[in-house]
Structure formats: C-alpha cells, structure tokens
C-alpha cells in the first residue's frame, strides 16, 4: 500500500517547534502531517552532515527544516 502523503509537496517546518518522538532524542520528532509517523533527521552519507530535507517513516510526507541548526549541528541544503 502506498503511504498517504508520499506524493504531496514538502511542508516547511521548524524542527524546534516539533514534538520530540522520545524525551531522550534531540533529533527524532513526531510527524506534523500524521499521528503515527516519525521524522528522524536525515544525514548525508559519508560526511554525516544533517540535511534539511526529511521524510516521515509513517505517511511519507516530505518536510524541509527551516532551522539553521539542530542540536548545535548546522543543516545543509
């Protein structure tokens, strides 16, 4: 079955405004588009830099983080 939001345009969100998925996680957040998905904050392979673009593991919604940094780490294109 195809995820509900896989074809929808990206949503621009501030990571700092999202609800954390777990209290001990500075990165994982609840998806703003569905009630059961998780945004894990993607990293670039090789460099492990944080990426602005992310996708919900539950509904497939794409998000673009508007923050300059998350947990002190700069976000890249």
Residue 4 lies in a domain: no
Residue 3 lies in a domain: no
Closest residue by Cα to residue 52 from 20, 3, 15, 5? 15
Rounded mean pLDDT for each run of 10 residues along the chain, 77 residues in total: 94 96 92 93 96 97 97 94
Residue 2 lies in a domain: no
45: Cβ contacts below 8 Å, ≥ 6 apart: none
Torsion angles phi and psi, residue 32, rounded to 5: -75, -10
The per-residue pLDDT for 44 is 95
- Residues facing residue 46 across a β-bridge: none
Q: Phi/psi zone of residue 35: left (φ > 0), alpha (ψ -120 to 50 degrees), beta? A: alpha
Q: Say whether pTM exceeds 0.75.
A: yes
Structural domain boundaries enclosing 68: 11-76
The per-residue pLDDT for 35 is 79
Q: Read off the tokens for 42.
A: 């993607």
Residue 18 lies in a domain: yes
The per-residue pLDDT for 1 is 85
Residue 61 lies in a domain: yes
């Amino acid at each position: 079955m195809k995820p509900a939001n896989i074809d929808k345009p990206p949503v621009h969100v501030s990571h700092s405004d999202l609800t954390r998925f777990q209290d001990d996680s500075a990165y994982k957040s609840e998806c703003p588009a569905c009630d059961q998905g998780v945004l894990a904050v993607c990293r670039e392979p090789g460099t492990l830099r944080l990426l602005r673009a992310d996708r919900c593991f539950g509904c497939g919604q794409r998000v673009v983080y508007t923050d300059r940094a998350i947990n002190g780490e700069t976000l890249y294109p």
